[in-house]
A and B are shown apart, each in its own frame.
Chain A
Amino acid sequence: MKRSTKRRTLAVTSAFLLALAAGCGTESGGSDADDDTGSAAGFTPPDLPMKEEMGDMEGEVNILAWPGYAEDGSTDAAVDWVTPFEEETGCQANVKYFGTSDEAVSLMKTGEYDVVSASGDASLRMIAAGDVAPVNVDLVENYVDVYDYLKDRDWNSVDGQMYGVPHGYGANLLMWRTDLVESAPTSWSVVFEGGSEYAGKVTAYDSPIYIADAAMYLMETQPDLGIEHPYSLDEDQLAAAVDLLKKQKENVGEYWSDYLKEVQAFTTGDSVVGTTWQVIANVAQGEGVPVDVVLPEEGATGWSDTWMVGADSPNTNCAYAWMNHIISPEANAAVAEYFGEAPSNAKACDIASEGHCETFHAGDEEYASKLWYWTTPIEQCLDGRTDVKCTDYGDWTQAWTEVKG
């Protein structure tokens, strides 16, 4: 009798599992057969409706942003452009910060966010996945003041249709502890090759996209490899970058993706040199940590961010109001100064503190073209080669796991 009960339980359980399996079984291949989104050059974004006209504010907006992009005065009372927005529009802003583009892509899939600040390595993936909707820029009043060279770019539009409004752009900088690193570095070589001097104290960004930093360094130091574009690597070039990163790892104390963790590591001296964002240096300096940053001579990878609207957002009016607010001269200047980047709104430079726009070369189209903005690597080589297949983001993710070992 005992055995039969046992068998019955087993039968029930397996029946349940079978039902479950049937429930989530394989989709028929038919509907997805034309789903060739891997090819960005010719990818067709899902046909999603664009907002036609503004309506009443919904009272709240869920913002998914890079750390420092939506400050409400809680980090630093003087740094606050969320409160004016809330007072002006009546939209309560719920902010969530993310640490890497990958995190942003997966968080947008939840559909819980109305608006997101996406870098170039995330924006196209979100568009292709149908997680963000086309943006009607006519509804965003301040859009006319945005620098023209930021409009209709590869990373924020498809076939002439904008999918967001440009936020600003900046570079991944090299930061060091001025008291623990003897001479001020001017080259990335200090983290890639000279690191043994600071063994265990080097830090690097914990994301597959960091492979591009190594590729950019190789572009200068090993021209034989023929790297033209750090996001466009064939297998051999990727392998060379991975080798360089594996060599670097011997000197890396820890990788960072949480910006506060990097601040702490530099504060205690567990990290003394490595890649950073201006905002991290600002926070560290604000806490009295002796750090400095430089844009190394090899150039830098960087970001050009776009505010995008969630495809299923129930709060589109507040989302549009937010986009309009964040690129308004006042807010755009404030966020650009706080984060340490060039604003996207030309008028922001009249408000920003003196020298800011010069430091970050805002409006300098030529300088902006020298930064290697985060871009999603895809099979079709971005540098125009057609005789070879490039490695895609999946390969990079795999390679990054191998680098970390």
Chain B
Amino acid sequence: MASSQRPGRGILVIPRPGRRSRDRSVLLLIPPMLWLGVAYLGALGALFITSLWGQNDFTGAIERIWTLDNFRDLFTIEVYRTITVRTITIAAVVTIVDAVLAFPIALYMAKVASPRLQRLLVIAVLMPLWASYLVKAYAWRSMLSEGGLISSIAAPFGLESPGYGLVATTITLAYLWLPFMILPIYAGLERLPDSLFEASSDLGARSAMTLRRVVLPMAFPAIVAGSIFTFSLTMGDYIAVRIVGGTSQLLGNVVYDNQGAANNLPFAAAVATIPVVVMLVYLAAARRTGALDNL
């Protein structure tokens, strides 16, 4: 994270390289660049290529003949549109829920808590990440079940557990990804100089006004930065929805069913390009807010 004075990128002062040392640094960069190229970009490329192949329905063998059939199915069959819209909606709702929950926590951590408490809180926020994703998802499954913890807590108020479904999926995912939202907002708020708060109150603004007119606009890029995590993690998730989602399916499930069950890799690859495209659009939008500098 950049410090508050923003001295620019040159904070790590490297003497202007001579020819030989430049060659050496190129050599040093080759392994990580290969890793990035092969493991990330290469995999994306392979994914895209695979999506242009076909499959023999009977034997499940991949037929390496260029075809756009997968994309045609994807666009013409209505169910995939429905699933895409559902996935994006869930991702958006999870992001909003997390932002609303994370902002007060992060604000307290950054501006109210004592340095000692601050450190403890950071650990507390990170702690859930130490436990396995599956354990947490299954814990939600048993809590949300018939006669589980949530329904027994809600019963006295005449409410009942939402049961398995999209609501349960949203709750579980919002719980799982919350730390990924708190940390960027916390980092963003910590960078705000206290003098801004003083100046705002000197000029007569109350806390609410300060929050709305000073803190929120400055924290906005940090919130967007956090939303990149919550949004993209939700877009790709298929496990939580299998555990608590009841009958519903998201894009991840379609990919999984086509890859794991039907063994239709080409179609799975075509479906997998949807989240990639959605995230590219999202990142392009996020870039305009300056959020990428907050990561």
Q: Is B125 an interface residue (CB 8 A)?
A: no
The contact of B61 among A9, A129, A376, A378, by CB within 8 Å, is: A129
Residue interface mask B243-259, A partner, CB < 8 A = 1:
00111110000100111
Q: Are A26 and B41 in contact (CB under 8 A)?
A: no
The contact of A103 among B45, B66, B148, B260, by CB within 8 Å, is: B260
10 contacts between A and B (CB under 8 A): A26-B65, A37-B56, A40-B58, A106-B263, A109-B60, A254-B164, A269-B145, A397-B57, A397-B261, A401-B249
Q: Are B64 and A26 in contact (CB under 8 A)?
A: yes
Residue interface mask A183-213, B partner, CB < 8 A = 1:
0000000000000000010000001100000
Q: Are A128 and B58 in contact (CB under 8 A)?
A: yes
Q: Are A270 and B163 in contact (CB under 8 A)?
A: yes
Q: Are B261 and A405 in contact (CB under 8 A)?
A: no
Q: Is B37 an interface residue (CB 8 A)?
A: yes
Interface residues of B in 1-56 (CB under 8 A from A): 33, 37-38, 41-42, 45-46, 49, 55-56
Q: Which of A12-20, A217-225, A314-322, A359-367 forms part of the interface with chain B? A: A12-20
Q: Are A249 and B58 in contact (CB under 8 A)?
A: no
Residue interface mask A235-250, B partner, CB < 8 A = 1:
0000000000000010
Q: Are A268 and B46 in contact (CB under 8 A)?
A: no
* Least distance between B144 CB and chain A CB atoms (Å): 9
Q: Are B64 and A128 in contact (CB under 8 A)?
A: no
Give the contact-size bracket for chain A.
35 or more
Give the residues in chain B near A29, CB-CB below 8 Å. 65
The SS class assigned to the A binding surface is helix
State in angstroms the CA–CA spacing of A398 and B69 once bound together: 13
- Using a CB–CB distance below 8 Å, which chain B residues touch chain A? 33, 37-38, 41-42, 45-46, 49, 55-61, 63-66, 73, 77, 79, 82-83, 141-142, 145-148, 163-164, 245-249, 254, 257-264
Residue interface mask A1-37, B partner, CB < 8 A = 1:
0000000010011001100110011110100100101
Q: Are B261 and A393 in contact (CB under 8 A)?
A: no
Task: State whether A254 and B247 are in contact (beta carbons under 8 Å apart), knowing that A16-B42, A105-B263, A109-B263 are contacts in the complex.
Answer: yes
Q: Are B45 and A255 in contact (CB under 8 A)?
A: no
Q: Is A394 an interface residue (CB 8 A)?
A: yes
* Least distance between A288 CB and chain B CB atoms (Å): 15
State in angstroms the CA–CA spacing of A401 and B164 once bound together: 19
Q: Is A38 an interface residue (CB 8 A)?
A: yes
Residue interface mask A103-132, B partner, CB < 8 A = 1:
101100100000000000000110011000
Q: Are A253 and B261 in contact (CB under 8 A)?
A: no
A103-B261, A394-B262, A397-B258 given; name 20 further pairs at CB < 8 Å: A16-B41, A21-B45, A26-B66, A29-B65, A32-B63, A37-B56, A100-B261, A129-B60, A252-B246, A253-B247, A254-B245, A254-B247, A270-B146, A397-B261, A397-B262, A397-B264, A398-B77, A401-B79, A401-B249, A401-B257
